[in-house]
Structure 1
Amino acid sequence: MKKALALITVTAACALANSAHAAGVTLTFACDSVGSGYNECQKGANAWAKKTGNTVKLVQVPKETDQRLALYQQQLGARASDVDVYMIDVVWPGLISQHLLDLSKYIPQSEVAQHFPAIVKNNTVNGKLVGMPFFTDAGVLYYRTDLLAKYGYKSAPKTWDELAEMAKKIQDGERKANSKFVGFVFQGKNYEGLTCDALEWISSFGGGSIVDASGKVTINNPQAVAALKAAQGFVGSIAPSAVTTYGEEEARNVWQAGNAAFMRNWPYAYAAGQAEGSAVKGKIGVAALPAGKGGKPAATLGGWQLAVNAYSKHPKEAADLVRYMTGAQEQKRRAIEASYNPTIASLYKDQGVLKAVPFFGSLYNVFTNAVARPATITGSKYNQVSDAFSTAVYSVLTKKAQPEAALSSLQSQINRIKGRGW
């Protein structure tokens, strides 16, 4: 386990000037590894360490969320105290809540109440506040403003058909000078990211979610079939065949190198794309994802929380680190410097935030009305449901199955999972 963690010490940027500081504790923090996530976590941890005289060690974690969860479940299941603070996905509280500290005993209710109520509710399991909202997410569409203007388009596509048409026209034109250029990139690899993308496609066609609020498995319907047919048509045409190996970072790397017209990704990719050396700096537009026929735009709710290991040897200090990292000051810094979506509503009206990330204001409703994955209703079986779903979608994208057959088989598979109880 210790080898897997590969701890990297983040030294507080201060001298320990007195005995109180010298007596500070050392916390281990499993934070982020996607985009600028590791560096931004390091900055926040450094600031807290300087303020308190403690030390924080950051852990290098897997980029893929399912691999991360598997590692954390292994550690927590063994009641290991190696890691004090975990960054956890929005769909994990119900899976690991029994191993997490109740933060309501350490963080004032007045501070908790500043965060979006729906996320706080999501993080409350059996009356325990097992995670503090850190940043929220919803899928968005990135587009090249310069290329849309070059090819005569005045705005981002409103429907998937429009996106396909625009992407094909731009791709054909740009390939005359750049053979690597593609129209559209997204998360097509078989993992949790594909679950998010596919839920957006299906919901935007009016196909609902995998499981409805009553627990009924609803995935096998004509609108879902239509959505997956459209997505299957992207692969090898406007999207490269290799898109079925792409996670968030692979898609972002193609986009940021200037080799794509459109990209589906999370808001973190905005700051990365505007950084020095980026081929798309100053050429980035952000819009709501397109709608399918007869549907409306849909964005999967993402986002991350900070949680304290119930077996931590330093629960008080760990909870204080979480309180600092999820507080308004740190969330504002992360929004301005790295385009992470705050979970504190007032920051969406903050002029400093809106100046740095203008699209936060225009897409506020996207962030606050996103489509939730069925993690609450499926409980401890969510991972099995999500894995079955992404695998079925992957078989369609790779043309190993057609949507009708894949969804029919998926419905039966999820009903069997349901039959074992959730």
Structure 2
Amino acid sequence: MRKALLAALVSCTLAGAWLTPMRAAAQVTISISCSALGIEARLCREGAEAWAQRTGNQVRLVSTPNSGTERLALYQQLLAARSPDIDVFQVDVVWPGILASHLLDLSGKIDVSGHFEEVVRNNTVDGKLVAIPWFVSAGLLYYRRDLLEQHGAEVPETWQQLTETAGRVMQAERAAGNDRMWGHVFQGRAYEGLTVNGIEWLASHNAGRIVEPDGSVSVDNPRAVQALTLARSWIERITPLGVLNYAEEESRGVFQSGNAVFMRNWPYAWPLLNAEDSPVRGKVGVAVLPRGAVQGGVHAAGLGGEQLAVSRYTAHPEQAVDLVRYLTSREEQKRRAIAGAFTPSIVALYEDEEVLAPNPFFRDLVPTLRSAVARPSGVTGARYNRVSAEFAAAVHAVLSGQSEPAEALDRLERQLTRIGRAGRW
């Protein structure tokens, strides 16, 4: 069993990803999994290498699949086998409840004062702090500032306004010769990213949160139907059919190549869009996501972010905890914010002028982060992965035209009620 898991792991591991300190002989080797999304792998490598040089240890970086669904499945296999082969895991904001039984309690071992309290609470399961916030995130609307100005358009307040503006600017650009221009791109693949997009659409229409804090399933309601009907109308109208296979990087690729007016994505995209070789450098603006054009409609951004956790099966808990302490420190979070626009989990850094210089939109981000819409991982616990998969599949079926919104939501509510045993999650 363990050999099979290691074989799967090796296929996702960066060849030669060993970070050797430049001074004292290594004491122990700590393995850490890092995402390969955007520049995350490089920043993780640099931070881990700095820790290795400071402590005299070695660090082995393990690259994991870009897909959060695939990464979680790999983690679950390794941890179920009690494998000691990864000491420190990078975990999504919705995974602490799923993986908690396999993670060390870090209460009292790492100081979390100054971090967003909401995220610390999210990472506390049954009174145990099982993960430390590394960066917090929320969905944002990126837009081509130059194109909106050129065509006399405003940043949309509602999703309906986005639909109309995206269509008008797209058609004007196509008439001017760019037949590859689209109005809006987002994460439409049937995976965790679509769950977040879908929750943003529903919450912005005051349509609930799929599963409410009391455990009741609320996804089948008229406003949810309205939200998904609008999103479905985008496909092949203002959004390419290929969006049904887009994750974060595919969306960014289209937008950064200059072929989309709007994009929903995370803050990590900002420095990449403004890199020296980016075709849209200096042409991009950032805004809150639109609200639903209904009574009670709000600007709703999905809460995201990553944490670092220590496996219960590590052979070197002291060193693994120290690596997490270093990587989640104020100094390291500041470096990552400046170099990669990773929004810190330490609130005070949003007032640091060195952080704000390359990331001016950080100034207004704290209220958005504090009010971001969490996925129902807390109430659904270990069943969250099934809930998310069912929701993403239902939304994808609607977007692809395989199912009508009302049908899909009725079927989804019945499935989720069975999964949750009528609210007894």
TM superposition score normalised by structure 1: 0.96
Question: Residue 106 of structure 2 contacts residue 131 of structure 2 at CA under 8 Å; is this kept in 1?
Answer: yes
Partner residue in 2 for 1:15: 22
TM-superposed CA distance for 1:363, in Å, is: 2.5
SS, match of residue 396 in structure 1: helix
Alignment of 1:148-163 (within 5 A): 148-153=148-153, 155-163=154-162
The CA distance in 2 between the partners of 1:2 and 1:404, in whole Å, is 44
The CA distance in 2 between the partners of 1:369 and 1:209, in whole Å, is 14
Matching of residue 170 in structure 1 with residue 172 in structure 2: no
Give CA-to-partner distance per residue, 1:245-302, whole Å, 9 cap, x none. 1011110111111111100001101111111211111111000000111201101111
Q: Which amino acid aligns with 1:169?
A: R
The CA distance in 2 between the partners of 1:12 and 1:74, in whole Å, is 26
TM-superposed CA distance for 1:353, in Å, is: 0.9
Question: Residue 99 of structure 1 contacts residue 310 of structure 1 at CA under 8 Å; is this kept in 2?
Answer: yes
The CA distance in 1 between the partners of 2:357 and 2:277, in whole Å, is 21
Partner residue in 2 for 1:256: 256
Partner residue in 2 for 1:49: 52
The CA distance in 1 between the partners of 2:306 and 2:356, in whole Å, is 21
Identify which of 335, 338, 341 aligns with 2:340: 338
Partner residue in 2 for 1:411: 413
Partner residue in 2 for 1:182: 182
The CA distance in 1 between the partners of 2:212 and 2:22, in whole Å, is 55
Alignment of 1:185-264 (within 5 A): 185-264=185-264
Alignment of 1:75-94 (within 5 A): 75-94=78-97
Partner residue in 1 for 2:323: 321
Question: Structure 1 regions of 5+ residues with no counterpart?
Answer: none
Give CA-to-partner distance per residue, 1:72-98, whole Å, 9 cap, x none. 000000000000100001111111111
Identify which of 59, 63, 72 aligns with 1:60: 63
Matching of residue 370 in structure 1 with residue 372 in structure 2: yes
Question: Structure 2 regions of 5+ residues with no counterpart?
Answer: none
TM-superposed CA distance for 1:2, in Å, is: 2.4
TM-superposed CA distance for 1:156, in Å, is: 1.3
TM-superposed CA distance for 1:70, in Å, is: 0.3
Question: Residue 256 of structure 1 contacts residue 278 of structure 1 at CA under 8 Å; is this kept in 2?
Answer: yes
Q: Which amino acid aligns with 2:51?
A: W
Matching of residue 278 in structure 1 with residue 291 in structure 2: no
The CA distance in 1 between the partners of 2:21 and 2:310, in whole Å, is 25
TM-superposed CA distance for 1:204, in Å, is: 0.5
Question: Residue 141 of structure 1 contacts residue 265 of structure 1 at CA under 8 Å; is this kept in 2?
Answer: yes
Residues 24 and 10 of structure 1: CA distance in aligned 2, closer, same or farther (over 3 Å): farther
Question: Residue 348 of structure 1 contacts residue 354 of structure 1 at CA under 8 Å; is this kept in 2?
Answer: yes
The CA distance in 1 between the partners of 2:114 and 2:269, in whole Å, is 26
Q: Which amino acid aligns with 2:7?
A: K
Question: Residue 12 of structure 1 contacts residue 50 of structure 1 at CA under 8 Å; is this kept in 2?
Answer: no
Matching of residue 3 in structure 1 with residue 28 in structure 2: no
TM-superposed CA distance for 1:11, in Å, is: 4.7
The CA distance in 2 between the partners of 1:54 and 1:284, in whole Å, is 42
Q: Which amino acid aligns with 1:164?
A: T
SS, match of residue 389 in structure 1: helix
Question: Residue 17 of structure 2 contacts residue 62 of structure 2 at CA under 8 Å; is this kept in 1?
Answer: no
Give CA-to-partner distance per residue, 1:317-336, whole Å, 9 cap, x none. 11000000000000001011
Give CA-to-partner distance per residue, 1:204-263, whole Å, 9 cap, x none. 011011011111111111110100000000111000011111011110111111111100
Matching of residue 290 in structure 1 with residue 290 in structure 2: yes
Further displaced range: 70-79 or 208-217: 208-217
Question: Residue 202 of structure 2 contacts residue 209 of structure 2 at CA under 8 Å; is this kept in 1?
Answer: yes
Question: Residue 11 of structure 1 contacts residue 46 of structure 1 at CA under 8 Å; is this kept in 2?
Answer: no
SS, match of residue 263 in structure 1: strand
Question: Residue 20 of structure 2 contacts residue 59 of structure 2 at CA under 8 Å; is this kept in 1?
Answer: no
The CA distance in 2 between the partners of 1:27 and 1:181, in whole Å, is 46
Question: Residue 298 of structure 1 contacts residue 371 of structure 1 at CA under 8 Å; is this kept in 2?
Answer: yes
The CA distance in 2 between the partners of 1:163 and 1:171, in whole Å, is 12
TM-superposed CA distance for 1:4, in Å, is: 2.4
The CA distance in 2 between the partners of 1:13 and 1:56, in whole Å, is 7
The CA distance in 2 between the partners of 1:349 and 1:68, in whole Å, is 34
Moved over 2 A (4+): 1-16
Identify which of 398, 401, 407 aligns with 2:400: 398
Partner residue in 2 for 1:97: 100
SS, match of residue 357 in structure 2: helix
TM superposition score normalised by structure 2: 0.95
Give CA-to-partner distance per residue, 1:58-116, whole Å, 9 cap, x none. 11100010100000000000000000100001111111111111112422xxx311211
**Aligned length, in residue pairs:** 414
SS, match of residue 233 in structure 1: helix
Further displaced range: 356-365 or 231-240: 356-365
TM-superposed CA distance for 1:5, in Å, is: 2.3
